[in-house]
Amino acid sequence: MAKLIADLCCRLSEIAERPQYLPGALPRLELDFHKVLIAAHDVFDPHHLATLVASALIEGEAGVREERSQQSREAVKARRDQETKAVFLDWAKGAIAEGKKADTVNELQGLEGFNPLWSKMAEKTLKKWAVEAGFKLKSGRPKKKK
C-alpha cells in the first residue's frame, strides 16, 4: 500500500509542478486512486491485515539485513588497508606468475617490486596476504643457526 501511495504522491507532485500534464494524467490518476482505495479496504480486513503485516515484516527484515550487509561490505572495501591489500595481491600474483618464490615474510620483503610501505603492516598480515595470493611460505618456527 505504501508503494501505491508513494507513486500517487509522486504523480500528484509532478502535476502540481506542471499543471499542463493534468489532462493526460487524469486516467492514470483515477486508476491510482482506485488502487489506493482497494488497498485501504484490504487493510481493514483483520485477516488480510495480519497477512500483510507478516509478509512485510519478513521481507523488511530480510531486506534490512541484506542492505546492512552490503553497506558493511562496501565499507570494508573502502578501508585503506583493504585498498593496500588489493595492490599487494596484484603485485604478488604477478610475482608468482614470473616464478618468484619466498619461504618467509622476510624473503618476501626482499623480492623485486615489493613496496617498502607494505612492511608497515604486521608480519602476520603480510603472511596471510601472501598465502592468499598463492605464495607457499614455510610454516613453523625458524631453525636455530649454530
Give the pLDDT confidence score for residue 88 in this predicted structure: 92
CA distance 82 to 105: 19
Residue-wise pLDDT tens for the chain (146 aa)? 677 778 888 888 888 888 888 888 888 888 888 888 777 766 666 777 777 777 777 776 777 777 788 888 888 888 888 888 989 999 999 999 999 888 888 888 989 999 988 888 888 999 999 999 988 888 777 778 77
Tell me the angle at which helices 22-44 and 2-17 cross, rounded to the nearest 10 degrees.
160
CA within 13 Å, CB half, 78: 6
**pTM of this prediction exceeds 0.95:** no
